[in-house]
Structure 1
Amino acid sequence: MAENTGIHALPITVEYDGRSITITPAVVETNRGLVLLDVGPEGAVGPLETHLTSLGYELADIWLVVLTHHDGDHAGGLAELVERVDAVVATHREEAPYVSGERDPIAGDGDRYPPVDVDLELADGVRIPTLGGPMAVVATPGHAPGHVSLYFPDGNLLIAGDALVADGSEGKLAGPKPRFTPDMDRAMESVGSLAALEVDHTLCYHGGYVDRGSKRIGEIYDRRRE
């Protein structure tokens, strides 16, 4: 990902659910400061802070946190973050009850992360101005009821969350994992929605950056019944 776009991938390796995983939150520069896209699980704030320092920023520069969805590996570290920074917390309206503690997370055994109030409920089509151009919220339900992806039309960049994964040794772009996707049919319809966008490159939370876009996403959608 080009550094001058103002969009930065922040790959970190953390312990989650008894194992070590590599995840890829992202941060986007705006005139107001930074927008953080997903936090990571509990314990992720320290590694995120290290990344931001290397970019010349501090945690305090984060003014908005956008959660693609409520799973613990995306939102578990949110409580620690908002204890340290005065940031607005945003997610889709269908994800908000899980983040705020009104409902237990769908994935998990009841041992949930600390709940955090949601300040802003997002909807499909909302656009947030950034230095990389408008960031559009794209509803991509299936992996979670209110899962969203983020699309930057100025650079044809898709930040997919868990709607897609970069799977395999060569970072091949693939569809959502059935094992972790409660509503696979709906998730694949979301893949179809993403295929309709003009995407040249994709950032997945699991697997990181892939230099693939609409053509590959369309192939994933077309093979959904195989």
Structure 2
Amino acid sequence: MPEPPIATTIHWQLALQRSQRTYILEGVDLLATDTGEEVMQKVRNKYFSEVRSPWATRLRHYLLCQRVVLEAAPLSSLSFTDAEAGYHPRRVFIRSRDQDDLLTECFHQPYHLRSAATFAKRYPRFTVPITWRAGGNLPPPDSQILVLRLAHDKQYACFVLLAALLLFILLGLVIGFTQASSKLGLAIGACLFALVSAVQGILMWMSR
């Protein structure tokens, strides 16, 4: 009985955000036969093992309204060559990037890609050629790197602000009722809401 053919290995390069402006270069090996769910699970495992754990990522989302987003960025040969020659972890510099909404949602919900076969082969721009990795050759002009970074979750932040607004209005009414001064209650509620809004604005500015 003939043996099944060996699946082709595909290598993706990832730029993982360690701090606000620091990205490290990591690689993940995929199989040409991997489904979309398997690809995203491998990408998730690499991120959670190199940057922060799943619970820490969820905590940042709930408290700081930040979530992981996936972006495509052109990778120059200079940044790649310098990174390969350096020590581990290898730092790369991202000049421009474009968010990929589809990959971002699939990163957070990989099961949506359970039936997507040969997923890695559908994104050849992220594949690093063997000849390029082996030494010295210039990267293809359309090569890109997959960037994983934290960004401000505007939708969740709006939900938090709306919930805070309703909560502080209720709190202001309670204080105004107990203190027999509606103006005092509304003033306290408005101050608390302004404080939360200012914090959200600072977080949004920091995540740009």
TM range (shorter): under 0.3
TM-score for the superposition, normalised by structure 1? 0.25
TM-score for the superposition, normalised by structure 2? 0.26
- Structure of greater Rg: 2
